[in-house]
Structure 1
């Protein structure tokens, strides 16, 4: 059987100008200072209070930077950037343009950007694009990228295990103060977890542990007669391997393959 890969048609946001690196440094959560030209880096776009708005992947070059959105809305990212660009930033936004992104279905696998009309290079040409169902199953097992239920305007990246996309050492950026608090003494109130159950359950279903509130389902999928998905589980319930659904359903709880704790 051919190896499966994630084959995504995405919108590329181009930033032209000598100030592209510094502008993105102040608007996103990862540290771009040491990023080499041509390398890909994932980062988060946050609100001022640290809520996750989008997961981005970007690439710098001598003339500026390219940005794609792995989770979230590309048009919203472009509009948000446009609102805060000033002449002193030395950045010009270009219209969104199509791009093809390839990644093997493995946590933290390297990605390849290519022209949408170009022939696939090896070894991708010998692989097989994952179907929508196969990709969703992998996403739920991996916990990445966040779907609409996880990227709901209320979650922060540390709750979703996106530690690798957050810098705790670089200077000020949008949402930095909240990230510093959460990686310090405060910690997060909930974390993303995988669940499976023989009974059907839907997003927004409440979970309990010993009759007490334990979390909420964010994504669900029927896979060969077994239901699986993602849930946000309260911190005090994370040690439990089972939780109950709203009608007493027994859910097995596990850690997503791509999830990283702040301590990591």
Structure 2
């Protein structure tokens, strides 16, 4: 039985705030390889991966699912960042590349709790109606992300959208609000769990910091998941019994369950934790979202 009575098998619902950026043209995949933190060149056509765009200092500006449809068509399914602002920022790096960047207003992103009909693992699914599927299933949670024409958009369901965000956090997918953009390295966000970045692919913004941290073994912090009795905001301090431990990077709530992903030292003494003055119970992250 699903843990949310609204989560009927097959029910499709809107994912508010999620938007699609398209890179199209002869140099689409080449541009994505040069700008984003995962290895687009090694990704086969018709497959997708987690990725992101970093500052020169190796901090995550935006995280997204990158779909390589072909050498000339790359899509970014963007859950949190300001897609319009990101497109304008990326355009400054196009130079002489044969490439068009835009937010696809004619396409919307939806969710469904249940296994995809055509997608599997990193393989993208599609049908004759123009619906594209991604398999976001993880441990104990089958999920399908759908990209569909706006004319076929599903209705909003606040409860289901909240449950979706909670599932993201349970699997260690940070849902970064604007206040946390540019704050954290991929290692601090434990994006190795999602195979979300590459240390071998060559140059991209922030690559030197990411690679140095990896090869010198200097990653000292990572994600920890906490449940609290009431919602907490990203940016809130996590405190131990005698000192500050770290900071909440992302949070989600459905009114009954309240979760927070915090960046904390990888090596720390066991003990109680508090967030915003309330006890916080650490719970294990789920696996299965790596692609």
| TM-score of the superposed pair, with normalisation by structure 1 | 0.78
SS state of the match for residue 97, structure 1? coil
Residue 124 of structure 1 corresponds to none
**Pick aligned residue for 2:75 from 66, 73, 76:** 66
SS state of the match for residue 262, structure 2? strand
Q: For 2:258 and 2:72, how far apart are their aligned partners in 1?
A: 48
| TM-score of the superposed pair, with normalisation by structure 2 | 0.71
Q: Given that residues 245 and 251 in structure 1 are in contact (C-alpha distance below 8 angstroms), is that contact kept between their aligned partners in structure 2? A: yes
Counting only pairs closer than 5 Å after superposition, residues 98-137 of structure 1 correspond to structure 2 as: 98-104=106-112, 106-107=137-138, 111-118=145-152, 131-137=160-166
- Seen in structure 2, the aligned counterparts of structure 1 residues 188 and 259 have a Cα distance that, compared at 3 Å, is farther
Q: Given that residues 19 and 103 in structure 2 are in contact (C-alpha distance below 8 angstroms), is that contact kept between their aligned partners in structure 1? A: no
Q: Given that residues 162 and 259 in structure 1 are in contact (C-alpha distance below 8 angstroms), is that contact kept between their aligned partners in structure 2? A: no
Q: Given that residues 23 and 102 in structure 2 are in contact (C-alpha distance below 8 angstroms), is that contact kept between their aligned partners in structure 1? A: yes
SS state of the match for residue 113, structure 1? strand
**Pick aligned residue for 2:56 from 29, 48, 59:** 48
Residue 251 of structure 1 corresponds to 280
Residue 221 of structure 1 corresponds to 253
**Pick aligned residue for 1:8 from 15, 18, 22:** 15
| Deviation of the 1:101 alpha carbon | 3.0
CA-atom RMSD in angstroms: 3.3
More deviation, 24-33/204-213: 204-213
Q: For 1:182 and 1:24, how far apart are their aligned partners in 2?
A: 23
**Pick aligned residue for 1:154 from 176, 180, 183:** 183
| Equivalent residue pairs, number | 250
- Seen in structure 2, the aligned counterparts of structure 1 residues 197 and 63 have a Cα distance that, compared at 3 Å, is closer
Q: Given that residues 99 and 113 in structure 1 are in contact (C-alpha distance below 8 angstroms), is that contact kept between their aligned partners in structure 2? A: yes
Q: Given that residues 240 and 253 in structure 1 are in contact (C-alpha distance below 8 angstroms), is that contact kept between their aligned partners in structure 2? A: no
Q: For 1:227 and 1:152, how far apart are their aligned partners in 2?
A: 21
Q: For structure 1, which runs of at least 5 residues remain unmatched after alignment?
A: 121-127
**Pick aligned residue for 1:30 from 26, 29, 38:** 38
SS state of the match for residue 131, structure 1? helix
Q: For structure 2, which runs of at least 5 residues remain unmatched after alignment?
A: 114-136
Once the two structures are superposed, what CA deviation does each residue of 1:4-43 show, in whole Å capped at 9, x if it has no partner? 7674364332323211111110000111113222322321
